[in-house]
Chain A
Amino acid sequence: MKRETDYGYQIKSVYSPEDIEGFDYDKDLGNPGSFPYTRGYHAEGYRTRMWTQRMTAGLGSSVQANGVLKKYREMGQRGGMCVISDRVFSDCIDPDHPNARREAGVLGWPGCSLLEFEELMDGIPLTGQSITLLGSSAPTVLRLAYVVALARKRGIDPSEVHGSVMESPFENYFGQTDVQPFDLNLKLWLDASEYVVRNKIRMRSSVISQHFQESGGNNAQAIAVVLSMYKELCGKLVNERGLDFDDAAMVPYELVSIGSRFFEEIAKVRAMRRMWARMAKDHFKAKKEKSCQMLIAVHTSGRTMTYQQPLNNIARCAIQTLAGAIVGCTALDNATMDNAYAEPSALAARMSLNTQHIVAVETGVTDVVDPLAGSYFVEALTNQVEAEAYRILKEIDDLGGMIAAVEKGYIQTMLREEAAKKFREVDTRERLVVGVNHLVIAPEEDFEIPIQEVHEGDSEAIATRMETWKKTRDMPLVTARLRQLHADAGKGDRFNLMPAIVEAVEAYATAGEVIGVIRMARGLSYDPFKVIDCPYDFQLEAA
């Protein structure tokens, strides 16, 4: 059995002062709430701000997802809600697209119009909790437009809503794939980010290592990748959109994947905080302390949830949740015991949410900030993962930054090789997974976990509803708003499309329509799959 970290550092049997030679408390750690923020941002830790305890929802129709959100609130979900998109919305086509009819509502929420968002949020407040909508990068502008539009409809100033509805264009390379081209996703991401800053909307964007790690990346790579993304995207907001760095730094947040190798996961997050603080100060010349504080939420690792003996995943989830609590996260959402099968059933969600509640109130972990600081082992691990991450970060820098590294295939190769290595380690039993390649026993006989299913008919129902509802809209208004959007989209990459997108969304233009006309204005086909044509005829008029 391997006794090394996932990035290849050999772990010794015991750690002592010589393993952290030169350790300087003020320089390396600082008190909680002080630069370089290794120990977190709050002097009093969870005593002054408990982490947001939430679960991911989204499967089937919007009405069904709304029911799940309400159920989570009954189960004690506090501080925020989190909904993931289905593949159709993630690709920005509509459920009634021929390639989408069979997959609407699969693996997430089919949020392809403002109507779907209204149904999702029916009876659920937009304020007083963080609103997190996940999925892929392409629908970033749509998710933001939904929030703005629904806030206005409810008579709420959009600046009173907070959460995260945007997603970085890089996630496309980490297994969170959508069909839209990178340059389009990047342009729309910059539009959305600039819009929230200029309109003082407290919406964040995920710029995250979670997908990268869930696809197989190691801890040091994850830190290097997330910092490279921050560097590239904040740099663009400053240099191309004219924002102050201290405003740009309020856009991204990191969602970190926490697996079962307890101490290594804790070291990763501590190193990440310290490295961003230094980058913000040294590279970006941050003027505000807050800009040096990378907002970090935790997702306990879905890839570690095994198909075999799913009840074992409850134990894994608890260990990972404890690690996530120890690192001092802002929010935490859990993987669930049925994660290797489907989106969480009510039973699995309750189990995971209760795991958070148990960790929060029964273990004492919330009493003390960064309780492992000063451990020879944890400080040594923090230094090790930091050193390896700096090495990779430099390689990415030398290639010309994150975009260049992606264009050159460096990131994709790194991830592919690491995923293959992780598979081989389990295949050859260098790493043991109980129930998978170690202590393999027959499935539990007396208990089978419930598994959520979306059937073909469920997807078809979502598609049919979209098809018939589309015709009931105020079509002259939809057409006028889309025409304006199409015209704006021809005005160059720096012209911000958010105002026109919000207007189109308010007229109930759909995801496929909004992104489709933007695509056309950029010389692309209306439909990324080239199966359907644009139903509107203003393409030539606008020229």
Chain B
Amino acid sequence: MAKGNGLKVIVSMIGLDGHTTGGEVVSMLLRDAGFEVVYLGVNQTPQTIVDAAIQEDVDAIGISSHAANYSLIEELMDLVRANDLDDVIVVCGGNIPRKQIEQLTARGVAKVFTPGSASSDIVDYLANNTRRSNAAALPA
């Protein structure tokens, strides 16, 4: 499957959130779809995630979230902007209530995937909405 076309995506938990199942499943389905996944795992801070995004020169950051107060994701958005990573989209996945989805979207989160999202929704969205999505086939 070439939909991912070599696009590079971080998948990470944020803060003390130890629920890894969602992030691991999404990493797998993105890899199967041809994305390059940088899986950061647990205990990441907004700073370590942004550092990794710069070092790895990723096209998107995916945050897996299982119940939080979402301020860490908001801080991540501020850091993304402060580091001139505006062309790196941030998406979230998890059991995030509708009200918080509105707030996160207002802070610049590109898209929130709620539980039950189809793998094709996630794959298609990332394939079509990153900075390099419109480029022809990327060099391997």
Complex Cα–Cα for A149 and B132 (A): 60
Confirm or deny: B38 has a beta carbon within 8 angstroms of a beta carbon on chain A.
Answer: no
The answer to whether B43 touches A87 (Cβ under 8 A) is no
Confirm or deny: B2 has a beta carbon within 8 angstroms of a beta carbon on chain A.
Answer: no
With both chains docked as a complex, state the minimum distance between the C-beta of A443 and any C-beta of chain B, in angstroms: 8
Binds B, one of A171-179, A258-266, A506-514: A171-179
Interface string of B15-54 (1 = CB under 8 A from A): 1111111001100110000000000001101000000000
Binds A, one of B4-12, B80-88, B111-119: B111-119
With both chains docked as a complex, state the minimum distance between the C-beta of A96 and any C-beta of chain B, in angstroms: 14
Complex Cα–Cα for A234 and B127 (A): 51
> Beyond A215-B21, A342-B67, is A103–B16 a contact (Cβ under 8 Å)?
yes
The answer to whether B116 touches A178 (Cβ under 8 A) is no
Confirm or deny: B72 has a beta carbon within 8 angstroms of a beta carbon on chain A.
Answer: yes
Chain B contacts for A340, CB-based, 8 A: 95, 115
Interface string of A525-543 (1 = CB under 8 A from B): 0000100000000000000
The answer to whether A308 touches B71 (Cβ under 8 A) is no
Confirm or deny: B139 has a beta carbon within 8 angstroms of a beta carbon on chain A.
Answer: no
Q: Which of A103, A437, A455 contacts B15 (CB 8 A)?
A: A103
Binds B, one of A7-15, A121-129, A275-283, A419-427: A419-427
Confirm or deny: B69 has a beta carbon within 8 angstroms of a beta carbon on chain A.
Answer: yes
- For the A-B complex, the count of residue pairs with Cβ-Cβ distances under 8 Å equals 87
> Beyond A419-B21, A459-B69, is A100–B16 a contact (Cβ under 8 Å)?
yes
The answer to whether A307 touches B69 (Cβ under 8 A) is no
Chain B contacts for A420, CB-based, 8 A: 24-25, 28
Complex Cα–Cα for A455 and B42 (A): 22
The answer to whether B18 touches A341 (Cβ under 8 A) is no
Confirm or deny: A477 has a beta carbon within 8 angstroms of a beta carbon on chain B.
Answer: no
Interface string of A401-431 (1 = CB under 8 A from B): 0000000000000001001100100110000
Complex Cα–Cα for A304 and B118 (A): 16
Confirm or deny: B137 has a beta carbon within 8 angstroms of a beta carbon on chain A.
Answer: no
Chain B contacts for A368, CB-based, 8 A: none
Chain B contacts for A215, CB-based, 8 A: 21
> Beyond A87-B17, A340-B95, A419-B21, is A179–B71 a contact (Cβ under 8 Å)?
no
> Beyond A307-B95, A437-B116, is A103–B69 a contact (Cβ under 8 Å)?
yes
Confirm or deny: A216 has a beta carbon within 8 angstroms of a beta carbon on chain B.
Answer: yes
Residue among B17, B18, B29 facing the most chain A CB atoms (10 A cut-off): B18
> Beyond A88-B16, A103-B15, is A455–B43 a contact (Cβ under 8 Å)?
no
Complex Cα–Cα for A498 and B98 (A): 45
With both chains docked as a complex, state the minimum distance between the C-beta of A335 and any C-beta of chain B, in angstroms: 13
| Interface size bracket, A side | 35 or more
The answer to whether B97 touches A341 (Cβ under 8 A) is yes
With both chains docked as a complex, state the minimum distance between the C-beta of A18 and any C-beta of chain B, in angstroms: 40
Confirm or deny: A91 has a beta carbon within 8 angstroms of a beta carbon on chain B.
Answer: yes
The answer to whether A87 touches B16 (Cβ under 8 A) is yes
With both chains docked as a complex, state the minimum distance between the C-beta of B114 and any C-beta of chain A, in angstroms: 5
**Chain A, Cβ-Cβ closest to B20:** A175
The answer to whether B43 touches A529 (Cβ under 8 A) is yes
The answer to whether B69 touches A453 (Cβ under 8 A) is yes
With both chains docked as a complex, state the minimum distance between the C-beta of B137 and any C-beta of chain A, in angstroms: 26
The answer to whether A419 touches B15 (Cβ under 8 A) is no
Chain B contacts for A426, CB-based, 8 A: 116
Complex Cα–Cα for A472 and B84 (A): 45
Chain B contacts for A178, CB-based, 8 A: 18
Q: Which of A88, A90, A103 contacts B68 (CB 8 A)?
A: A103
The answer to whether A427 touches B69 (Cβ under 8 A) is no
The answer to whether B67 touches A306 (Cβ under 8 A) is no
> Beyond A177-B18, A306-B115, is A456–B71 a contact (Cβ under 8 Å)?
yes
Interface string of B54-91 (1 = CB under 8 A from A): 00000000000001110110000000000000000000
Complex Cα–Cα for A207 and B97 (A): 32
The answer to whether A176 touches B21 (Cβ under 8 A) is no
> Beyond A342-B67, A456-B71, A459-B69, is A307–B21 a contact (Cβ under 8 Å)?
no
Q: Which of A91, A342, A419 contacts B97 (CB 8 A)?
A: A342
The answer to whether B114 touches A307 (Cβ under 8 A) is yes
Complex Cα–Cα for A205 and B115 (A): 32
Complex Cα–Cα for A239 and B71 (A): 48
The answer to whether B19 touches A175 (Cβ under 8 A) is yes
Chain A contacts for B28, CB-based, 8 A: 420
The answer to whether A306 touches B45 (Cβ under 8 A) is no
B residues near A (Cβ < 8 Å) are: 15-21, 24-25, 28-29, 42-43, 45, 67-69, 71-72, 95, 97, 99, 114-116, 118-119
Given contacts A175-B21, A340-B95, A437-B116, 17 further A-B contacts (CB under 8 A): A87-B15, A87-B17, A99-B16, A99-B45, A102-B71, A102-B72, A103-B69, A106-B69, A107-B67, A177-B20, A179-B43, A216-B21, A308-B116, A342-B97, A420-B24, A420-B25, A529-B43
Q: Please, could you name 20 A-B residue pairs with CB atoms under 8 Å apart, sorted by A?
A: A87-B15, A90-B16, A103-B69, A107-B67, A175-B18, A175-B21, A177-B20, A177-B42, A178-B18, A306-B116, A307-B114, A308-B115, A308-B116, A416-B24, A419-B21, A419-B25, A427-B119, A437-B116, A437-B118, A459-B69
A residues near B (Cβ < 8 Å) are: 87-88, 90-91, 99-100, 102-103, 106-107, 136, 175-179, 215-216, 306-308, 340-343, 416, 419-420, 423, 426-427, 433, 436-437, 451, 453-456, 458-459, 529
The 5 closest A-B pairs by CB, nearest first: A177-B18, A87-B16, A436-B116, A307-B115, A456-B71
